[in-house]
Every structure is written in C-alpha cells, then in structure tokens.
Amino acid sequence: MGTVSVKDIPIAETPARSLQRLTEAELQAFERDGFLYKPALFDREEIGLLQRLTQEDAAIERAMGCVADSQGNANEIFGFAGTPPDLLGAFIRVARLVETASDLVGGQELYHWHSKLTFKPSGSQGCWDWHQDYGSWYKDGALTPDSLTAMIAVTPIDRENGCVELVHGSHRCGRLDHMAVGQANGADPERVAWLLERNDRVLCELDPGDCVFFHSNTLHASGPNNSQRPRTIFHVSYNAAASAPPLGHGLEGHRYKPLNPLPDDALKSGDWSARIDLEAHRAMRLARETERVKLGDLYGYQVTRKHPEETL
C-alpha cells in the first residue's frame, strides 16, 4: 500500500447499510450486545439431519479430540476447516447462515474459518473457561476481529446440561490478553472478574435449530453437564476475506477460500446421508496434524485424540 497525507482523506457521509437478511434493529442489537439470537433458524427436518449425523456416524466418535479445561477435565470436540462435500459442509454454506453472518460484519465477504461439533455427554465435568475466539485467531494471523461464530443447537440446551454463557457487551473491550489458566488457556482472569462485576452473564438456553451469532471478541464460557441429557452444539466460525492471514502465516486451513453459498433449500433438497465424507475429513485432519505436530499445543490448549489408536 502507498502513503497518503491526512489532508487527503475525505470526510464523507456513510451510505445507508444494505442488509441481506437482517433488520436495522437486529444489526444494532448485535453491535450493542455482541450477540444476536435467531430462534428456529433451522427447522425440525433440517436440524434432524444433523442430529442423525452426530448420533449415527461412528467416524465422528473415532476422530474426536479432547481439550482440557483449567481443572484438567476433558471437553469433546470434532473440528475441521475447509468445506467438505458432505452435510457439515452444506450447513456452513447455506445462504441464510452466510448472509446473516455477512450482515453482522458490515456486509463483507466471508469465508469459513473453522467449525466444530462440541459434545457434553450426560455427567460430563468438562468446562470451557472464559475466553474470546479472537484471542487465539489473532495469533493465527486474522488481521481484524471482523469475525464471528454461529452457534447452532443440535440438542436442547439449558444451564443444567452446560449451555454457553456470554458476557453482555464484552466485545466492546477489544481483544483481552489470554494466558495459562490452570491446565487450559483463557482470558485474563482479573479482567474477566472486572467485567463480570459490571456486565450481565447471558445464558444461551436454546431449542434444536436455534442459533446465536456472537462476535469474536465476546467473552464466553460453559459449565459442566449436570443432567442425564447430552448437550451437542455445532459452532460455525467465519472470518472476513479482508481479514485473512497473510500468505505464509498461520494454518493452511485458515487461508481465504471462496465460500460459494448454497440456496436455502439445499439441506432438504440435497442427498445428505448420516455419514461424513471420510476422505475429505481425513485429508483435513492430516493437514492439521502436520501443522500442529499431532495437535499438541494449540495456543495453550492441550488437544489429544479421544481414541489415539483409531484412524479416520
């Protein structure tokens, strides 16, 4: 880029925002709160496809990772980058999700950063400590926090079975320092305590198909599953194309690649089985393990395979 004088930068009126999916009131709520709740973004039939997949595909169980919380308890995840040609890849590309996310980051072009299914079986003591997503995405080269996560409920989710909690308005604090917190990584505990004294904790209690979009600087956490019911969430994260890491920096899976959204009816009209695309996910996992030395230290998070003897 070149060099310009401050005298040459014009002051111009901001054009009216053109929204694809949201109302101006919804966008203002996101900018104020750091999150936006969209009930029933996916209907019963659509979310039923995802429920079948997570319940029936043994490959997901075999490829699952475990992330330790601050007390050493395991959180079960199945994560991936890229856009696999299967049901998971279809969900991350469906137009209503992509276009809503784009509205929330100023209408910018987005691409898929990464996604993960997170599981809390009944009685699981695993917690996610307070953190911001941009706390680690920054270290992987994302240039700006023009990024967010769409949190889709696969099962009923409430406080008893370990719902995600958000700190209201915390995205306005910018990126906080992240550091070792017990056996995990998290936002500066002192700063989190200050924010919790002044800001509400928001419980993301959701029905299957509900979605909460939250800013990558919004503080969030979740507690243990103290119920006899499982808790499953699909987290889909997007980054603005203009915020993509420079070439040669960060994970290969976080490079910019055009998303090519699917029409809204793709989930129902497509031929989606209750299986992931083994070859696509195998390739993505091998690439990630090569870069992260078998998922050893991921920005302070210790990641292990739940079944290290298994291959996907």
- In this structure, which topology does domain 22-305 adopt according to CATH? Jelly Rolls (2.60.120)
Encoding tokens for residue 173? 């604090």
From CA 283, how far away is CA 113, in angstroms rounded? Answer: 17
From CA 88, how far away is CA 277, in angstroms rounded? Answer: 9
Average pLDDT over residues 30-58: 96
Q: Assess whether pLDDT exceeds 50 at residue 46.
A: yes
Closest CA to 269 of 55, 69, 73, 49: 49
From CA 81, how far away is CA 239, in angstroms rounded? Answer: 12
> Domain extents for the chain?
22-305
pLDDT, position 293: 46
Residue 201 confidence class, pLDDT cut points 50, 70, 90:
very high
Residue 309 confidence class, pLDDT cut points 50, 70, 90:
low
Is residue 140 within 8 A of residue 251, CB to CB? The reply is: yes
SS3 assignment, position 66: strand
Round the average pLDDT of the chain to a whole number and report it.
91
Average pLDDT over residues 204-221: 98
Ranking 1-5, 22-26, 122-126, 160-164 by mean pLDDT, the lowest is 1-5
Average pLDDT over residues 228-240: 98
pLDDT, position 249: 77
